[in-house]
Structure 1
Amino acid sequence: MFELSGLLLSAEFQPLLNPHTKEIYGYEALSRFYCPDGTAIAPNIVFEELHAHHELLSSVEMAAKTFQFTHAPQDSVLFVNIDPHAIEFSATEMLSLLRQRDNVCVEIIENTCINDARLAANFIKQLVKFDIPVGLDDVGAPHSMLSIDLVSQVSCLKFDKYWLETAKNPQYHHLISALLSFAKKTNKLTVLEGVETEEQLIFAQDLGVDLVQGFLFKPLFINAKERVLLSPMLTQVC
């Protein structure tokens, strides 16, 4: 049991690097939450509770993205995750915030739920309208399905770590090679997630992805003193 309004909001920035040169291209911003005593609360627990209250979700997501924009490295591309449900009550404010930064890419997770897929598609159309780059996250994850419409609209494909688990399966290898070929021919950035070992890094190099991301590379953490208290307006016992 915890009270949302008592949680501290922070962020972590995971680097995306060139697999050959190790040069950092950008960072993915991830929300982090802590109890007043400093104990970390898994983000999925917080967001699962928030999904039952979309207006509350919108408020927390706006606070999180504002925090991330404030503390992110300014000289690199910033990748941010946005749940389409989170802008139901704050679309105008969120789009205004996103347009304040030139080097930003919005990541959208494709969901198997048809209603969520429609929400994602509508949100992507708004982002494209304002020339905001969009990345499709978790491509190839077991829980996701590949939408031709979404794949055609986005400017970045982020391949799920599941591709690393199937690296020795010829059928999967042919599939990801075909997707990478499509991405290159249509000028889409490609990222392989979940790289944790040197062996997996070599696999990424051989595949020819543009960027890699994973625990093999040290993230940037925000100093504990910079954490902010979620507003009392967000009081929700869960």
Structure 2
Amino acid sequence: MTTLADPITELDGVPFLDDGFAARRLLAAVAAARHVAGQRADLADEVSADQAELWLSPSRAVMLVDTDRPIPAVPLGAARKGQVKASLEYVAATIPDWKLLLDLPTRFALLYPPSGAISASSRAWPQHVLLSAEAFASPSELAEQIVHELAHQWIYLIQEIWALGQHTERRFTLPSGTSHRPPAEVLGAAHVAATLIRLYQATSNDAEERISALREYGAGCLALLEVPDLTDAGWAIAQRIKEAL
């Protein structure tokens, strides 16, 4: 991790919440950091420093993760790939300031075996978004799940440069009932709630109940956290999320 100023200052805000967010600046920093990590792991022989952006591919990103846990997924069929593409295009057309965020190199796959989750992401599978069959129930459901997981992916990218959660044994149960979550994941859940509020404000004229529930959920996540749980960078993002809610 670096000693840069907080991510709000360095990146002009938070992804999906601030339209001026410097996504390219973050991607450049991540590519450079991954290149250094690849060199240390003897994985960068074929990648020169001026090709560091190659590390932004999902397949190369996974190479740098120290885990032997397989990704619980199988490839999407052609029809579902088409639905994902259409959903990304729809959201980008509706919220043009999100286009670069939605264009993050991402491998979409079918969550398998089924786990009960509608969608999933993990820092152990950078730039991989897993969608269950239920995620394809309707265009609005698919848009929500894709944006939900891409919000996680961008926070994961920030975490490659800044630590957001302190090293602590404290674990939390989210307002949804999901348990055993570290502080940074609680922060990430609140960020998703604030992001989805913007999505529904832009795409629906009849979503007040959903937006109200998201505000309550996001505020409930932030209320779980105390000063020792997050770094200064984490608290800077938490404050911005609180403002967005």
Same fold (TM over 0.5): no
Give the strand-richer structure, 1 or 2.
1
Highest RCO, 1 vs 2 (Cα 8 Å, sep ≥ 6): 1
Give the helix-richer structure, 1 or 2.
2
Instruction: With the length of structure 2 as denominator, give the TM-score of the two structures.
Output: 0.28
